[in-house]
Amino acid sequence: MSQQEDPRETGDPIAALIRSLLKELGQDPGRDGLLRTPGRVARSLRFLTEGYSQDPIAILNDAVFEETYDEMVLVKDIDFYSLCEHHLLPFFGRIHVGYIPDGRIVGLSKLPRMVGMFARRLQVQERLTTDIASALETVLRPRGVAVVGEATHLCMMMRGVEQQNAFAITSSLRGVFSEDPKTRAEFMELIRHQRRSFV
């Protein structure tokens, strides 16, 4: 271990790669401002990709209940942060998740938990949207699932086209949300609804 190296990153292959990357960028990883950067980046990347070690089916199955409720269930404005797999730059925004049960419901807190799990992988917004819909469809076997994602992508803002106001919307509509225009329209109207303070 060099005298300047952070002892917490000794033997950490990701930290070693970040030190090499800093050198390739013409930086001195031993200078004050960068001394602990390789370890910080390694820990950050492990946190931002911890979704690979989690099972979405297990997350949902932990709180599935038999219930006769058969109207729409919607959790909207679920905040998320993810890393674009093309540039390893963040994209972030909100996900809206709805489903129409067919005898089974899931605890409401599991929906944001599942969104966070899928977001903590190297992602593209399109796949993030369909991953969430597929997991919900697999576990609940509902009459329909609808997922809409809205996100800002730093890879479009900081580089390339450098568009500061552009954002992306993706959707995955299944079952009655795909087949029935009225159900789809109700979902779209509900996700536009602005929440008022309850206090």
> Looking at the annotation, which residues are catalytic?
84-87, 125, 153, 155
**Residue 124: which region, alpha, beta or left (left: phi > 0; alpha: psi -120 to 50)?**
beta
Q: How many CB atoms lie within 10 A of CB 11?
A: 8
Return d(Cα 124, Cα 166) in angstroms, integer: 16
Q: Which of 111, 130, 96, 121 is nearest to 62 (CA)?
A: 111
Relative orientation angle of helices 125-140 and 110-119, to the nearest 10 degrees: 140
Return the H-helix or E-strand segment holding 100. strand 90-100
Distance CA(190)–CA(47), nearest Å, equals 33
Q: How far is CA 118 from CA 2, 65, 78, 166, 177, in A?
A: 38, 23, 13, 23, 22
Helices 37-48 + 13-24 axis angle, to 10: 120
Tokens 């001195």, located at residue: 28
